[in-house]
Structure 1
Amino acid sequence: MRTRILFILLFISSLCFAQNDFYLAENYFREGEYEKATQLYKKLVDKNTYNTIYLKRLITCYQETEKFDLAEKLLTSKLQGNPTLFHLNIEIGYNFERQQKTELAKSYYELGLAGIDGNPSLGGTAARLFKENNLLDYAIKAYRRTMSLNKGANYDFQIAQIYGEKGDFEKMFSSYIDLVDRNGNYLGTVKRFVSRYISEDPFDKNNVLFKRTLLKKSISNPKDIWNELLSWLFTRQHEYQKALTQEKALFKRDPNYLSNINTLGRTAFNNKDYDAAKACFSFVLSSTNFLDEKLFAHLYYLKSSVEMKDSNVEAMFKKVLKTYGATTNTLNIQIAYADFLTFTKNEPSIAKEVLEKALALNSSKFEKARIKLKLGDVLVFMGKYNKALIYFSQIQTRLKNHTLAQQARFKVAQTSFFKGDFTWAMAQLKVLKGSTTQLIANDAVDLFLVISDNEPKDSIPTGLKKFAEADLLAFQNKNTASIAIFSQIIQKYKGQPIEDEALYKQAAVFIKEGQYENAITNYLKIIELDREGILVDDAYYQLAETYYFKLNNPKKASEYYQKIIFDFGSSIYLVDARKKFRTLRGDTIN
């Protein structure tokens, strides 16, 4: 028993020493101290004859110190001791390559390839060695040779990656598609890797290559999975109508694909392609008998119609609610209808009646909270602040720590701000600044800064009350009146902190009204006022967004995204700006 324990302790001790030697050797290797690393790796190789990591490191150390003869001698002895390790020929060849003995190197590479015929199980190892030594064409040959000899082997993924490294994107895409053709379970992986090389631009050369390769494959070997990939590509390119065509083809073969069309419709809606969203949800409505799917489709069809300012939207709302009833099933549609009546039709009294009836329905506390949030908005629109605050406070009390409660707290702060109660607004915003919901936290911080920077002190007016009035008018969609009051503030309080805040808020209203040039003028003024100001990165970002999405001027957009990347490293817009800048520049995003 003592002998066994002693043996175990000695084994553990030797293992620890070996690990310590390896870590120390690796450290020397990374630091470029190859002579020191060599001594440690020699010890490790002597004790661990079959450890390929130690051997590879030792060979590299010899090569880095130009001791090519020692590397060749070691590799040859290993190969002679065990001829089945044919892949060592590749290392011997690379050792000659390092000495610029190209022809001799090639002869050993061919030996490495030929060895796969006798032992295909080591074909993957040979291919990896070629790749590690940047012999990419040989690596591809080795993988293909292995797959031809072993039908169970699949190295399409590795081959695709190598083609990517070589910049041969057409063959890379073809290899990825072959991989999916062999095994559909790789679809998610292939999407992830292909997405590194394509952009949102349908005319990008890589996008065109991928689509062409995919179409070629779908003609020669039709499969549903090609429609899925085409739909995915078109969605990335924001070509939602084209994606819908692919999804319709899939639906004809399998009705379960209808859920994909719902998802596509939501994506199109969120990206403001309301035509495509309506097309998606119209198809869903004509293709399903399930109540939940129908109501979801009706909701987003109606929302899209509101955004497109369709003339018959109100009639459409009434027809849907008449067909399905004002029940708990249609609560989302009732809330959307109330929003439309208030903020588009300027009929808040009717909206209030709709919501009060909805509130009387036997719905869950969460649904009631959502109704009260909208009802509070309607009451704020009507100027009934105290009643709105009651509803918002009820949500906070009944759903503590829930996202809806956080939204309600922000609504309390915003409403208090509108009515000029800045002290109570600040109290709510201080709590919300640490909100777990990032969007709420950001909105809270923005409003907090507006108040804290401009709150009147010693009875000296700062324009904050006028600002709150203009902000309320913007909330009520009374945009012309809002713009006029912001202009008064900008003139009267020139040079004061509130000037840039008013310029920024007014620019947002200009955007709503489609007055893009006026918005651009405001953003540029903010930058001129104080290049170190707190709103400067916001102004640059909004300039970029306006040029990109509203004025279709990618060159100008790129200029402003780049400004954020190089001059505002801590901006909350940095990640998004970098992504969009690289997309506009046509980078391959790895």
Structure 2
Amino acid sequence: MKKIIAIIAFLISFAAFAQNEQLAQNYFEKGEFEKALVIYQDFEKKQPNNTFFTQKVVACYQQLQQYANAGKLLAEKLERTRQPLLYVEIGYNYQLQKDMANAEKNYKLALTSVTENPSNVYSIATTFEQKTLLDQAIKAYDIAVKANQSLNFDYQVALLQGQLGNVDLMIDKLLSYSYNNPQNLVVVQNQLSRFMNEESEENPAGSPEKSFNASLRKALLLNVQKTQDIFWNQFLSWFFVQQHDYGKAFIQEKAIFKRDPDMFFNIVSLAKLAVEENEDATAREILDFILNNTQDPELLMQSNYYMLSMDIKTAPEKDYPAIKQRIDTLLAQYGVSPYSLELQLLKADFDAFYRKDTKAGIETLNNTLKLQLNKYQEAQVKMKLSDILLLDEKFNQAIIYYAQIEEDLKNDAVGHEASLKMAKSSYFKGDFEWAQKQFKVLKSNSSQLIANDALELYLLIIDNTVEDSTQTALKKFAKADFKLYQNKKAEALAGFKDILANDKTQSIQDVTLLRIGKIYEGMGQYPQALEYYQKVIDNYKEGIYVDEALFFSAEIYNKKLSDPEKAKPLYEKVLFGHEDSIYFIEARKQYRLLRGDTNS
């Protein structure tokens, strides 16, 4: 019982101590230095050998311009503890009084103590850095390394050089540190990523010649040329991936593979990234390389799957029989099993959404459901089956399957996706009241894509119900949207144009223009798409769809019409006028590529 009481008393005492320390810090941060000083003095008396509280008391004295009291306390502490970091504190106290002669004298004493005992560098360099005496901190590290060659402070010195604005020195030091300490490569890359991201966020329209990214790229290229070590090829590949320049990353990965075939899976990972980022041309190039350089059945099947997925997106209808044959050949080769699940899903999707043979798609999936699948694989199959049932206008059956997935995977991303699709099914069906309730919940989803889709449709229903209680325009819009889901573009286009021509509900006009633009874009009719996007930009400047119209227009000019000069100002408008847009990051990436930031 005595032990328990003692422990409780200690915990209470510790909690009170921590609370008082936080209170003192709060006073200091608010500029109430007298109150902070009283608390810190109490701590300092109770722990006279704790330099942390000595420094806090001194800082309070200095803020109150009581330099004599600060000097006296520091002198007493130095006399008693002989801790060399106190030379820095004493020197800084003189510096605050504009007495640079005595300040430099004490800084020199601190640096001398590092020469005598290199281990003193840790506390002394840190104290210099706290006082923003960065040159002295660098000098302390240099002295320590000269005195003890086994020490390495490249990482610390690099960050200090960065604070001084010496970007090239910082990069050289960080790269040198990572090369000599490969176990800390991730730490260095995380630090470099932070600088790369900060530059793009704080200075999106800055000069590429002076950019951090250009300097880093140049330094990496020099190391690649100088040493021929694949470490630098890997580092340069990482850099290009951060820049979303997968083509240049692939060049480096091929060079690595030639010298070390065991690194092949880096190329596979790069292919997946290119596919996910819809960089189809680069993805095809990488996938071709994989297909020609491996005999691994799983990699071959996966690469063929990605190739087929990209081909299906762009193939004219006359090519559908050949694509069907390719899918059937692969399934015959690899067999119908959980192992080839992605191919079976692709076959069902292709049959239903492209060949318009929903019966074949449903049959494929019903056979797949007979396999020994885990719950996530079963959910994938049911999701695709629901999508096809919805395509076939079997709304209630689709909703039942979506609900099963939602129930089986309640707190999972797949379950949330099923919830969104179930809400969309109700919307397509014209059950707006039920759909609105579901969208209201989903607009707070942790997934940004789900939340944005749900919010857009929630606002669409709310706005158009307020303006038109009969929901006439909304019903027409949902019907046209469903035709779009069914990949019946001509019918969808006619439906949306009918709304523009015959329905004067204002709240539905801008999103209708956007939908028409998107359909024309999907049909490759870019001038018409740009015309409708421009109507959104010109007539609905304060609307919620203008960021999409700007971004989609920029993408057409940039990637379809090869007119970067027209694309650049549109990306720029997204950057500076729509920071909360889901297209902000991609707009920034494309803008910076057009600006030439990745050129050395």
Return the TM-score normalized by structure 2.
Answer: 0.81
The 5 Å alignment of 1:134-533 reads 134-198=132-196, 205-309=211-315, 313-344=323-354, 351=361, 354-355=364-365, 358=368, 363=373, 366-381=376-391, 384-386=392-394, 389-394=396-401, 396-397=403-404, 400-402=407-409, 404=414, 406-408=416-418, 410-420=420-430, 422=432, 425=435, 439-454=449-464, 460=470, 462-515=472-525, 518-519=528-529, 521-523=531-533, 525-526=535-536
Work out whether residues 558 and 581 of structure 1, in 8 Å CA contact, stay in contact via their aligned partners in 2. no
Aligned residue pairs, count = 574
- Bigger drift between 167-176 and 315-324 goes to 315-324
Corresponding letter in the other structure for 1:86: P
Cα RMSD for the two superposed structures: 4.1
Sequence identity, in percent? Answer: 32
- Looking at structure 1, the residues matched to 126 and 326 of structure 2 have their Cα atoms a distance apart, in angstroms, of 63
Work out whether residues 575 and 588 of structure 2, in 8 Å CA contact, stay in contact via their aligned partners in 1. no
Structure 1 residues 230 and 425: alpha-carbon distance in aligned structure 2, compared to 1, 3 A threshold: same
- Looking at structure 1, the residues matched to 505 and 7 of structure 2 have their Cα atoms a distance apart, in angstroms, of 79
Work out whether residues 537 and 549 of structure 2, in 8 Å CA contact, stay in contact via their aligned partners in 1. no
- Looking at structure 2, the residues matched to 390 and 9 of structure 1 have their Cα atoms a distance apart, in angstroms, of 62
- Looking at structure 1, the residues matched to 23 and 339 of structure 2 have their Cα atoms a distance apart, in angstroms, of 67
1:543 aligns with 2:542: no
Work out whether residues 392 and 409 of structure 1, in 8 Å CA contact, stay in contact via their aligned partners in 2. no
Per-residue deviation, residues 207-260 of structure 1 (Å, max 9, x unmatched): 221122223334454544322221111112222122122223444455553332
- Looking at structure 2, the residues matched to 150 and 259 of structure 1 have their Cα atoms a distance apart, in angstroms, of 41
Report SS of the residue matched to 2:196: coil
- Looking at structure 2, the residues matched to 187 and 351 of structure 1 have their Cα atoms a distance apart, in angstroms, of 48
- Looking at structure 1, the residues matched to 447 and 408 of structure 2 have their Cα atoms a distance apart, in angstroms, of 11
The 5 Å alignment of 1:63-82 reads 63-82=62-81
- Bigger drift between 392-401 and 120-129 goes to 392-401
Per-residue deviation, residues 332-368 of structure 1 (Å, max 9, x unmatched): 1232234334444556565556555545656556545
- Bigger drift between 447-456 and 331-340 goes to 447-456
Corresponding letter in the other structure for 1:537: I
Report SS of the residue matched to 2:217: helix
Q: What is the deviation of 1:412?
A: 4.6
- Looking at structure 1, the residues matched to 115 and 20 of structure 2 have their Cα atoms a distance apart, in angstroms, of 38
- Looking at structure 2, the residues matched to 440 and 10 of structure 1 have their Cα atoms a distance apart, in angstroms, of 51
Corresponding letter in the other structure for 1:494: K
- Bigger drift between 341-350 and 473-482 goes to 341-350
Q: What is the deviation of 1:542?
A: 4.1
| Match of residue 94 from structure 1 | 92
Work out whether residues 561 and 577 of structure 1, in 8 Å CA contact, stay in contact via their aligned partners in 2. no
- Looking at structure 1, the residues matched to 418 and 81 of structure 2 have their Cα atoms a distance apart, in angstroms, of 74
Corresponding letter in the other structure for 1:56: Q
- Looking at structure 2, the residues matched to 491 and 562 of structure 1 have their Cα atoms a distance apart, in angstroms, of 34
Work out whether residues 468 and 505 of structure 2, in 8 Å CA contact, stay in contact via their aligned partners in 1. no
Structure 1 residues 292 and 545: alpha-carbon distance in aligned structure 2, compared to 1, 3 A threshold: same
- Looking at structure 1, the residues matched to 348 and 472 of structure 2 have their Cα atoms a distance apart, in angstroms, of 36
Structure 1 residues 9 and 422: alpha-carbon distance in aligned structure 2, compared to 1, 3 A threshold: closer
Q: What is the deviation of 1:408?
A: 4.5
Report SS of the residue matched to 1:176: helix
Corresponding letter in the other structure for 1:88: L
Q: What is the deviation of 1:134?
A: 1.1
- Looking at structure 2, the residues matched to 281 and 87 of structure 1 have their Cα atoms a distance apart, in angstroms, of 59
| Match of residue 114 from structure 1 | 112
| Match of residue 568 from structure 1 | none
Q: What is the deviation of 1:116?
A: 0.5
- Looking at structure 1, the residues matched to 383 and 9 of structure 2 have their Cα atoms a distance apart, in angstroms, of 71
- Looking at structure 2, the residues matched to 241 and 558 of structure 1 have their Cα atoms a distance apart, in angstroms, of 25
Structure 1 residues 360 and 550: alpha-carbon distance in aligned structure 2, compared to 1, 3 A threshold: farther
Work out whether residues 90 and 103 of structure 2, in 8 Å CA contact, stay in contact via their aligned partners in 1. yes
Unaligned stretches of 5+ residues in structure 2: 559-563
Structure 1 residues 148 and 542: alpha-carbon distance in aligned structure 2, compared to 1, 3 A threshold: farther
Unaligned stretches of 5+ residues in structure 1: 566-570
Q: What is the deviation of 1:95?
A: 2.2
Return the TM-score normalized by structure 1.
Answer: 0.82
Q: 1:563 aligns with which of 569, 573, 577?
A: 577
Work out whether residues 87 and 125 of structure 1, in 8 Å CA contact, stay in contact via their aligned partners in 2. yes
Report SS of the residue matched to 1:282: helix
- Bigger drift between 238-247 and 433-442 goes to 433-442
Report SS of the residue matched to 2:407: coil
Q: What is the deviation of 1:117?
A: 1.4
- Looking at structure 1, the residues matched to 119 and 71 of structure 2 have their Cα atoms a distance apart, in angstroms, of 25
- Looking at structure 1, the residues matched to 8 and 389 of structure 2 have their Cα atoms a distance apart, in angstroms, of 78
